[in-house]
């Protein structure tokens, strides 16, 4: 088991990231997720697989472009190339709020203890924590703050309307 948290618990990761779809024959069995570009190119072939499917977006990708495919996807992976690069927060909220996506939304990359509180509020429910992160410490971070002011995926209303 790696440094993986799902739904606020340490978990086993059943998904395999995969790139290089040109060699489809060698695809692993089990659940895979692929880059958005490869998904667009080989969607029909992928859909014939007998496994769950996921897509990993660049944080510059427009979530809108994935909208029509979301019901076929069990996982969307969003990236934090650096912890201070916050584009994926917007992507996550859009997935949940605008497209009502119910599958797993996973944070990968520079995913650190002190950011998971914000990430979960934006709709992330799975976290591939950076290797050096202490899982016990991370699990505490979800509840460090109990007061929130603004609406997000966890609250429809701002504090003055609750």
Binding stretches for another protein (CB under 8 A) = 83-87, 89-91, 93, 98, 112, 114-115, 117-119, 121-122, 134, 144-152, 155-161
The CA R_g of the chain, rounded to the nearest whole Å, is 16
Q: Which helix (H) or strand (E) holds 121?
A: helix 116-121
Closest CB to another protein among residues 50, 146:
146
Taking the complex as a whole, how short is the minimal distance between the CB of residue 107 and another protein, in angstroms?
A: 12
Closest CB to another protein among residues 98, 102:
98
Place of tokens 């692929």: 34
77, 33 Cβ separation under 8 angstroms? yes
In the numeric block, which tokens belong to residue 35? 């880059």
Taking the complex as a whole, how short is the minimal distance between the CB of residue 70 and another protein, in angstroms?
A: 16
157, 30 Cβ separation under 8 angstroms? no
Taking the complex as a whole, how short is the minimal distance between the CB of residue 97 and another protein, in angstroms?
A: 8
Closest CB to another protein among residues 71, 154:
154
Taking the complex as a whole, how short is the minimal distance between the CB of residue 14 and another protein, in angstroms?
A: 27
105, 124 Cβ separation under 8 angstroms? yes
């Amino acid at each position: 088991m790696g440094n993986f948290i799902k739904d606020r618990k340490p978990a086993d990761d059943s998904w395999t990231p995969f790139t290089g779809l040109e060699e489809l024959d060698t695809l692993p069995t089990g659940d895979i997720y692929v880059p958005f570009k490869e998904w667009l190119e080989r969607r029909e072939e992928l859909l014939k697989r007998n496994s769950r499917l996921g897509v990993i977006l660049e944080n510059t990708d427009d979530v809108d472009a994935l909208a029509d495919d979301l019901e076929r996807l069990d996982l969307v992976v969003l990236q934090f190339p650096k912890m201070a690069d916050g584009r994926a927060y917007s992507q996550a909220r859009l997935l949940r709020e605008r497209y009502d996506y119910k599958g797993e939304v996973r944070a990968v990359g520079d995913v650190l203890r002190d950011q998971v509180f914000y990430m979960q509020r934006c709709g992330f429910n799975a976290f591939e924590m950076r290797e050096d992160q202490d899982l016990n410490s991370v699990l505490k971070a979800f509840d460090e703050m109990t007061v929130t002011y603004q609406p997000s995926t966890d609250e429809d209303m701002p504090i003055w309307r609750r």
